[in-house]
Amino acid sequence: MTGATLAGVPVELDAEGFLVDPSAWTEEVAEELARESGIPELTPRHWQIVNYMRTTYLETGQAPSIRSLGKQSGVPIKELYELFPKGPAKLAARIGGIPKPRGCI
């Protein structure tokens, strides 16, 4: 774990850059994580996925897999890969301040 400051907020990140404490997340932190991940701006479609990931995690304790993300978020898998090119579920979880989904490498 390492300490970092994102959007002026001190946070702890794990070795892969995921927030250790999901409650430290803010939209500003998300925007900075997105920029660091190669997404210069979060569009409303990005936010739809990020918010779906966060809500699902906070309600169930687990981040959705790419399969359930494509089926339940309202965004087709092909578009998910266009929005989050480096792995939609993993990247959206990171930006959403939640742990990496199971099954993600």
Q: Which residues carry out catalysis? A: 104
By the 10 Å C-beta count (0-12 exposed, 13-18 middle, 19+ buried), 24 is classed as middle
**Pairing relation of β-strands 2-6 and 9-13?**
antiparallel
Cβ neighbors of 79 (< 8 A, separation 6 or more) are 45
Q: How many CB atoms lie within 10 A of CB 103?
A: 11
Return the DSSP state at 65.
P
